Structure 1
């Protein structure tokens, strides 16, 4: 096996030297950063048989002296101590040497770590190269990518938007077209779902404002069709004061309200409200990690009642938590989403990205506590304008972070 040490200013030149010196069959043994660049250890004629399974070493043998037995001597009766020694010798002979798992082999563990480090180094180099190429060839695209990232939009969506407006003639046109395409990626359902009537359950995690949103929807419907066409049901037996809060809203709106703790009670309540055009169900808020979540969602599966669901989400929640929440509540098959607390968030980009990635339609937006004034039909262009208004543009991302984000987005798009 021939081993050679390679020095180069960066990883790309080092790999090129390896190919030129040792050929395309060379194996990278190690890599590390040094003053002035990187150092690689590469080998050719690599002996793969060195890592083949080796037979386990033979069991250790126990040597002991054996005194010949004379004819006139009689065997000594075995004692407990002698039995113990014989048993220990037998156990030692039968002992099986444990086989070393290759996943725990120190050499392979070290090689995996080296390969991961090499991969990270290459990804960083490629990300920096993509960022520099964008700056050299299309600096306006780099500026646009930076502005979109400042909205807290995920890098993959930002990258798609930049590519969609590559034909723009100036920076202002590119920005306006990018926002237009961002709004077009969002799906809204309008007011038709609620106007048609039916039985709707508001589901979602704790603290997103489901009870207040139920009151807003009820008031909005009552203003158009009268209070005699609507009824409310509460299934929240976990939060202290939840049913009292809904009862207060029901008294103000002058609409009937029922409570249900089980699926059977919910079926009875719905059967008693068959004459109502719209029935809204306020459910218990639970974390996406709560083990009782599936039990609560299954309660809404009332045979023959056609319960439909709206997923209520807070715009102040971070992107990763929104993704987890949408996935956890997906078993209830929500038809649309209601985005609350738009007035409390410093950035809407995470919420917009989550809705786009999960292809979840948006029905209503809530931006305050007033009933029903602070509930609005979802308009994608209006929400994108709010996202821009929320972004101050201060404390932007560094070039290093943006380069990694761009590289990761392009790697995911092609991988």
Structure 2
């Protein structure tokens, strides 16, 4: 039997201590009131002393009785309660199935590269964590496996060798797909895409390069008349760059703006961000902008988006000729494989990646070195921690 003594200023406080430590089935063996402290018999503090105990065997027996009672009472629970319990049970089953599916996916992921050498597996798993497509990874794995078997992988400088091999693979994987920023061969630079991907800020960064680094005479056109804030945002950037901006509502306004800026080197065009699932949005866009007019068009995609959504966006804008992708918000994700997957599937290269809101700093022109740098980020650290 477990026996303990408790002291408190009130009986309620003492009982709370007993319940907390010994539980509801504790037995009070004795209690008394005592007085402590004080001065010359005055101001003494009242204290309650309680001696409590619990028998482990009795406690176990009561728990078993409680369990049986609970089980028995379950048979007479009202139908509404049974329905609630059934729903709760179904939710638990669904959660367990979801966890099981995730576990199976993880196991498959761990085993899918088992045919490759351990060194090759390490590289593939790293790129898998970046969400590079399985088809690309198996192609890379086959190439690396042959070279590793032939003894081409050095002991010293291994990471540099791996980086070169990944770059070499991407060069062939993206063969015929052009990378790089504005060509400046066409007068009009246009950005399109869904809402929330950062089109206006990205356009301002691109325009800043033309003004500050290339000393070009540029202007802005915006068709984003749905959001006053977007117009004001572009006007703010225009003011900072000391360039004019025209707001257009229909194709006639667009043609007038083109005539107005006929003597300018380049015109940067901002478009409204709308729900990309609405085909009408793309149709409305084509009613306002003449895409055949010396236009270089960039489709802006956020790397925080799901690949499924990216594919839908690309499909929705397929009626418009897209020259390059721009991938934004790379600072908000640690996975960059979607860039490779989208470029490979669509046959369209990337012009820029952006990593913040600062204009003009947070933008980088895309080339093979930049793509490899992003994909191999953390690889050396991962290896050193194994």
Alignment TM class, shorter chain as reference: 0.5 to 0.7
Distance in structure 2 (CA, Å) of the matches to 1:303 and 1:319: 26
Contact in 1 for aligned 2:179/2:367 (Cα 8 Å): no
CA contact (8 A) 1:348 1:387 kept: yes
Q: How does 1:157-306 map to 2 (within 5 A)?
A: 157-168=136-147, 169=151, 170=153, 172=158, 175-184=162-171, 185-186=173-174, 187-191=177-181, 193=183, 195-226=184-215, 229-299=217-287, 301-302=289-290, 305-306=293-294
Q: Does 1:153 align with 2:132?
A: yes
Give the C-alpha shift of residue 239 in structure 1: 2.4
How far the C-alpha of 1:292 sits from its partner, in A, is: 2.3
Q: 8 Å contact 1:201–1:309 — kept in the other structure? A: yes
Q: Report the alpha carbon displacement of residue 136 of structure 1 after superposing the two structures with TM.
A: 6.2
Q: 1:388 to 1:306 in 2, by over 3 A?
A: same
The CA distance in 2 between the partners of 1:312 and 1:292, in whole Å, is 19
Q: Distance in 2 between matches of 1:152 and 1:138?
A: 21
Per-residue CA distance 1:134-162 (angstroms, 9 max, x = gap) = 64674444444323312211111111111
Q: Write out aligned runs for 1:294-333 (5 A).
A: 294-299=282-287, 301-302=289-290, 305-333=293-321
Q: Distance in 1 between matches of 2:356 and 2:369?
A: 20
Q: 1:318 to 1:183 in 2, by over 3 A?
A: same
| Cα distance in structure 1, aligned partners of 2:243 and 2:163 | 46
Instruction: Check conservation: 1:214, 1:280, Cα contact below 8 A.
Output: yes
Residues 1:365 and 2:353 are matched in the alignment: yes
Contact 1:365 1:377 in 2 (8 A): yes
- 2:291 touches 2:320 (CA, 8 Å); kept in 1? no
Q: Indicate how the Cα distance of structure 1 residues 341 and 273 shifts in structure 2: closer, same or farther if over 3 A, else same.
A: same
Q: 1:368 to 1:290 in 2, by over 3 A?
A: same
**Structure 1 residue 344: deviation in Å?**
1.4
Change (3 A) 1:197 1:211: same
Distance in 2 (alpha carbons) for counterparts of 1:265 and 1:388? 47
Question: For the residues of structure 2 that align with 1:266 and 1:299, how far apart are their CA atoms?
Answer: 10
Contact 1:219 1:371 in 2 (8 A): yes
- List alignment gaps of at least 5 residues for structure 2: 1-103
C-alpha deviation, 1:345, in angstroms = 1.4
Unaligned runs of 5+ in 1: 1-123, 395-415
Q: Which 4+ stretches in 1 moved above 6 angstroms?
A: none
**Contact 2:223 / 2:288 at 8 angstroms: preserved in 1?**
no
- The range that moved more, 290-299 or 324-333, is 290-299
Contact 1:231–1:255, Cα closer than 8 Å, also in 2? yes
The residue matched to 1:332 in structure 2 has which SS?
coil
TM-score, reference length from structure 2: 0.62
- Paired with 1:349 and 1:246, the residues of 2 have a C-alpha distance of 31
| CA separation of 1:371 and 1:151: change in aligned 2, threshold 3 A | same
CA shift in 2, pair 1:307/1:205, >3 Å: same
Q: 1:280 to 1:319 in 2, by over 3 A?
A: same
Return the match for 1:386 from 361, 374, 379.
374
- What residue number does 1:375 align with? 363
> Which is further off, 140-149 or 168-177?
168-177
How many pairs align? Answer: 265
CA deviation string 1:18-76 (max 9, x = no partner): xxxxxxxxxxxxxxxxxxxxxxxxxxxxxxxxxxxxxxxxxxxxxxxxxxxxxxxxxxx
Checking the alignment, whether the CA contact within 8 Å between 1:348 and 1:390 is kept in structure 2 is: no
- Partner SS, residue 363 of structure 1: strand
Q: CA offset at residue 288 of structure 1?
A: 2.2
Q: Report deviation, 1:196.
A: 3.0
